[in-house]
Chain A
Amino acid sequence: MKQLALIGLILLCLADMAFAQQTITIGFTVSKTGALNVDSLEQYRGFELWRDQVNAAGGIKAGGKIYKIQFASYDDESNSKRVQQLYTRMILQDKADFLFSPYSSPLTATAAVVTEQYGKIMLTSGAAEGKTYTLGNHYLYQMFAPAPEYLKVALDSLKSKDPKATVAFVYEDASFSVAVVTPAKAYAQQLGFNVVFSEAYAPNTTDFSAIIDKVIASKATVLLGGGHYADGSTLARQLYGHKVPLKMLTLLVAPDSPQWVELGDAAIGVTVPSQWAPQSTFKAQYGPSGADFAKAYAAKYNTPPSYESAGGYGCGMILQRAIEQAGGVDTAKVADALNATDITTFYGRTKFSTAANEHGLQVGHSMILAQWQKDKSGKLTKEVVWPLPNKSANPLYPIR
């Protein structure tokens, strides 16, 4: 019996030696400080959970080797100058094999200049603006559905509820929001809505009284817009305080954060176009199920995951799969595997465009519309309300 156990142990050791263990360094910056802090932290948690789960499971097995994941990560202070310095540092000094993007479209655009210059693969999350992917990059891959998709779900949902609604756009004067709202205005008119007001505000705006007075004067019944967490939460709170009689309020990014509940009654009914929600029911061909991801995330961080978190985890999963398919970490082979990717995970479908004029643009992923509603116990929860086949609750309309 003892001899059998000894032989088993030796065989296990030999099997383990067959997979020589190596390390993959993935570099990225996090906005630990600055205006993007909330959303960026959630994205980072997605990266971190993926790394911890992969390493706990033994690492990535590819081409007869086992790769453990390690991060090289710094605070970019929500500042594009820091991003430029730090991505150069991560490539040259930290010898990063692959990169994940910082949070937000402008920071990612800056990082992409550096990663392309050094021929490094970067998977982007939290960077929906499409322009960066039309600049002839070869190693940039987008996980989020592009910006023009964001408000389409809100307008489609509105069309089904109130085709005669009057619409106002109030949005942050930043590249992402402008990239979302510009096509959304055209789409709203295409659907027959009367767009009665449209105005951008400075990213550091704290007092929206002037714009709110204009919205009231325009007699808009629906407001679409926002930008990121700080301005979006402030706008929602002040719209509520001024008792603006809106039937629908859809804001970008901010209401997806679990922190949104802190707004209390001002949070009720607000909808957010979302890349993913825990209620999403995509059948995963690879990686964990949505329920398993949400459970592990909540256990680790004591808060439910946002779509930024899911996007971060998705970056890791898709890179992991590409490394496995490429049989190693060779950039050209991994890029080929990413180009051929067309898979559904808990995050949804992922497919990158391989057309020369938009290489790396996400063309497989679709968006949902989530809404903050009170459940039977009076607790605020986020429900999927569009598209209807995937809904977890009926849309609350009008909200006030």
Chain B
Amino acid sequence: MSGVLASMIDGVLVGAVYGLAAMGLSLIWGVMDVINLTHGAMIALGMFAMYLLYTLHAGTAYLLLLPVMGVGLLLGIMVYWMSVHRVVGRPMLMSLLSTFAVNMMVIGIGTAIWSTSPYNVNYSVQGLTLGAYTFTGNHIAAALAALLIALALQWFLYRTRTGKAIRAVADNREAAELMGISSTAILTIAFAIGIALAMTSGALVSTLFPFTILSGATYQLKSFVVTILAGLGKPFGALIAGVLLGLLEGVVTPFIAVSWIPLIEFGLFVVALVAFPQGIFGKRAAA
């Protein structure tokens, strides 16, 4: 196997995790026009939730994604009522400041409890060896989990009554309310799902790399690039955009130093904003 092909496969595997990390941000941004700056902190909380649960109950780490998701839903409801509900529909700066404040609180409390020392979920799955290259089982499992979660979310949004209500509120909140949909309840659910997705992605990342309470920031930045690429409110698009971003990293890294990657990524971010302001998977504005 060539080094380029191995690098591309690694890129796709890690890209799926980028995509999962971005899904929550994309959903919240698309549905309620709120840029959730607690996203990185929630990813970090997901990492620590997995660490604590795995420490208490060593076994198959991936089964612990369910309780992490449950905690994420509850936390999402709390954060929504604490800092988001009153600023939905108001200027974006309000929600930016409000969620940033919660972000700082979470990071502050997390630092007080865990400091900024690295933690490590010591769990590994048998990898796959092809020639000289080994793809770690954890990366493969994380990518598969990301795909399953994205499919489940797609099914939920397009096949269930609540999912359809979320899409209706995202499209036109007033019209949805006229149809008898409680937009407040739907926004709460959407925000809670967004936080649960962020925490779940953090839990998956914790099985790949050592982490600190500050580690979510890297994934928050990647999530912005992925969300802009995919278009707002397109969670499955976020997964595909994440994979494309990972693939891009995989294709270029054999030929250039890895320190150039952020430049390429954020260059792509600017190009996507100019060429596809609605995202690759977003609706085109009427001419």
* Chain A residues engaging chain B, CB cutoff 8 angstroms: 32-35, 37-38, 78, 173, 199-202, 204-207, 209-211, 213-214, 216-217, 229-230, 233-234, 237-238, 241-243, 245, 259, 262-264
Contact = CB atoms under 8 A, between A and B. Distances in A.
Given A33-B111, A205-B258, A243-B134, 19 more contacts: A35-B116, A35-B212, A199-B257, A201-B259, A202-B262, A206-B218, A209-B139, A210-B249, A210-B258, A213-B254, A214-B253, A217-B3, A229-B118, A230-B212, A234-B118, A234-B210, A238-B136, A241-B124, A242-B134
Contacts, number: 102
B188 interface: no
Contacts of B134: 241-243
Contacts of A262: 120, 122
Contacts of A237: 120, 209-210
Contacts of B208: 207
B122 A214 contact: no
Contacts of A32: 115
Contacts of B139: 209
B245 to A, nearest CB: 12
Interface in B67-125: 111, 115-118, 120, 122, 124
Nearest to B10: A209
Nearest to B257: A199
Contacts of A214: 3, 7, 253-254
Chain A interface mostly helix, strand, loop or mixed?
Answer: helix
B115 A37 contact: yes
A32 B212 CA distance: 13
Contacts of A210: 7, 10-11, 249-250, 253-254, 258, 261
B118 A38 contact: yes
Nearest to B3: A217
Contacts of B117: 37-38, 259
A213 B3 contact: yes
A213 B133 CA distance: 7
Contacts of A35: 116, 212
A233 B122 CA distance: 12
B209 A209 contact: no
Contact of B7 (A37, A201, A213): A213
Contacts of B10: 209-210, 213
B178 interface: no
Given A37-B115, A37-B116, A173 B259 contact: yes
A152 B97 CA distance: 51
B43 to A, nearest CB: 12
Nearest to A245: B132
Nearest to A237: B210
Interface in B1-30: 3, 6-7, 10-11, 13-14
Contacts of A200: 257, 259
A241 B138 contact: yes
Interface string B112-152: 00011110101010010100111110110000000000000
A237 B209 CA distance: 8
Contacts of B257: 199-200
A263 B258 contact: no
B260 to A, nearest CB: 10
A233 B118 contact: yes
Interface in B139-190: 139
A264 B214 CA distance: 24
A201 B3 contact: no
A328 to B, nearest CB: 39
